[in-house]
Amino acid sequence: MKFSNNYILYPDNKALEQAIVHYISMLADDIAEETKPDTKVTVPDNFTHTRGNFEQRRYNSNILESARKTLESKLTEELRKQEPLEWAALQNSLGNILAALGQHQRDEDLYNKAIAAFNNALRELDQDNKPQDWASTHYNLGTATQALGRQLSDSKLLKKSIDAYTNALLEWTREKTPMEWATAMFQLGLTFHTHGKLLKGNRTFQKSVVAFKNALTELDADNTPYELAFTHNNRGAVLHHLGESEENPGRLEEAIRSYETGLLVCMEQQLPIHLAVMCRVNRSTARNVLAELTKDSALAEEAADDFELIIECFTNALQPLCLKHCEEQLSKARAMVEAFSGGAREAGQT
């Protein structure tokens, strides 16, 4: 079956930020000072948190290529022999830089080089002696493999991503490292969702729902508002597709509630308006699916009203393809209102 379109949100990539900081620490003081991000000027960007796991927002994009060249120059065999853990740390940083470049350029080769860098690091890391470094490297490997698997629609890569996150969770437990555990659960949810769409498998979707539900147990609006909103939105996206796959109105109603919770967090915590709009677009799309499944003209009319409002009031907060999606969904909702209302009138006349 063909699933309806919905929108996933991605949190900040702390591993990528650490990789950039690692690179900056190698520079001369005067150059490092010039490289620091300008926190005084904020440039509006209504695409943030929508591009993927390797988006970086704090630095000029040119920093990635510069970091790549510097890190690659440091990775000598002599360093590996003398300081294997430092060599592994450099491989980790390089892997994140390469994956960010791969995402930016949609370059399969760069992603593969990132995956190779993480595997290189793992050859020098021991789970018993360096459990946290070992776990974080598996997490990084999982994220790069997930991104490439999503780009190529490759189920084998997505399975490898799941395996890598599962390895990370051997050390990142809820009891010892709750936030790392929640982060890995969030990424497992993303991976299972993408994998489920390829497999058209309800069981995989259900695993995604569970993973997101696990992540929610360690998130709250005061300390992790972005992550909380994104997890509710993304859980809604999985339930949305599961409801379509099962033709289950209950799943779709649950998806709508999850989207609404994500929207509420965005509004209450004053997150950037485009994030709230994305949650709202998802909610209205799910309402359209539910209206079509239940032939509910009132619900279709509600979805039409919401899409009309989104288009009229929030055009500047929409990506071009998302605006096109909203226009198509508005036309669909209006057509359903006409069709279902007409059917109801005919039933009343008989």
Domain boundaries, the chain: 1-200, 219-350
d(CA 344, CA 272): 41
Domain 219-350 coded CATH 1.25.40? yes
Q: Which two tokens stand for residue 232?
A: 């509710």
CATH 3.30.70.20 holds for 1-200:
no
Dump pLDDT digits (tens) for 265-324. Answer: 999 999 999 999 999 999 999 999 999 999 999 999 999 999 999 999 998 888 899 999
Residue 178, Cβ neighbours under 10 Å: how many? 14
CA gap 239, 237 in Å, rounded? 6
How far is the C-alpha of 69 from the C-alpha of 74, rounded, in Å? 9
Element (DSSP H or E) covering residue 72: helix 62-74
| Alpha helices, DSSP H, located in the chain | 14-25, 29-35, 62-74, 77-82, 84-105, 108-122, 131-152, 155-168, 178-199, 202-216, 225-246, 249-268, 273-294, 297-313, 320-349
Separation in Å, CA 75 to CA 69, 105, 121, 132, 222: 10, 24, 11, 22, 41
Cβ-based burial of 91 (10 A; exposed 0-12, middle 13-18, buried ≥19): buried
pLDDT of the residue at 41: 44
With bands split at pLDDT 50, 70 and 90, how would you rate the model's confidence at 29?
A: confident
Which residues contact residue 162 at a Cβ distance below 8 angstroms, ignoring those fewer than 6 apart? 142, 188, 191, 192, 195
Banded model confidence at residue 59, pLDDT cuts 50, 70, 90 = confident
How does pLDDT run across 82-95, given as a tens digit for each residue? 999 999 999 999 99
Are the folds of 1-200 and 219-350 the same?
A: yes
pLDDT given for residue 44 in this prediction: 58
User: For the packed helices 320-349 and 297-313, what is the interaxial angle rounded to 10 degrees?
Assistant: 150
Distance CA 322, CA 332 (A): 15
Yes or no: say if 141 and 114 are a contact pair by the CB < 8 Å rule: no
